[in-house]
Chain A
Amino acid sequence: AQKITQTQPGMFVQEKEAVTLDCTYDTSDPSYGLFWYKQPSSGEMIFLIYQGSYDQQNATEGRYSLNFQKARKSANLVISASQLGDSAMYFCAMSSPSGNTPLVFGKGTRLSVIA
């Protein structure tokens, strides 16, 4: 069975600094996708970034990048130049090879950006 582990319940980062949110996953399948979502205090879930298991390059979307280390089964989210608006819960999620089962989510990391 697939499993996502986010080991950091909460983190603090100084404004303008970079921060890494950890995500490790467990699967025996060679084909899968990894997703990161942001949940600000208002509650909505916002898609940030996607990495496919066969992608050779690490995914990037603006200030977000995904540090994908396939052999270590990790998919860490890196936020560069943190902003106060980055304070939120962040969830890592994983898809199955066929996409015929729902995404599996981690328990999330609460990031607080300090001025």
Chain B
Amino acid sequence: DADVTQTPRNRITKTGKRIMLECSQTKGHDRMYWYRQDPGLGLRLIYYSFDVKDINKGEISDGYSVSRQAQAKFSLSLESAIPNQTALYFCATSEGPGFNYGYTFGSGTRLTVV
């Protein structure tokens, strides 16, 4: 099994629908992140969590919400999907604190909003 698992891998949904992207990890890391990737824009941070009781907004949190159900699980919700939320979404985990810790990424969820 992968260290960081994202479900679903691909999803097509309609405008206005609520959708949840799920992330689970077996790394035992406290820190988890959600990013979206758009062509030419790189990875942009949506939300992050440093432990179960900690939730922080990233640079593009509008239109999204998250839930940290357990150390291993961090879900991203789009309350009312819109077409410009079409993107590749990544969940990632890291050890920490310290500046020498990079990320372990999930395989990504490709979301299309029609």
Contacts and interface: CB of A to CB of B under 8 A. Distances in A.
Given A93-B102, A95-B99, A99-B101, A45 B41 contact: no
Contacts of A47: 102-104
A47 B79 CA distance: 32
A53 B99 CA distance: 9
A100 B96 contact: yes
Nearest to B105: A45
A49 to B, nearest CB: 10
Majority-rule SS of A interface residues: loop
Interface stretch (A12-20, A61-69, A70-78, A105-113): A105-113
Contacts of A31: 99
B2 to A, nearest CB: 9
A102 B100 contact: no
9 contacts: A43-B107, A43-B110, A45-B90, A45-B103, A95-B99, A95-B102, A99-B99, A100-B96, A105-B35
Interface of A: 9, 31-33, 35, 37, 43-45, 47, 50, 52-53, 91, 93, 95-100, 102-103, 105-108
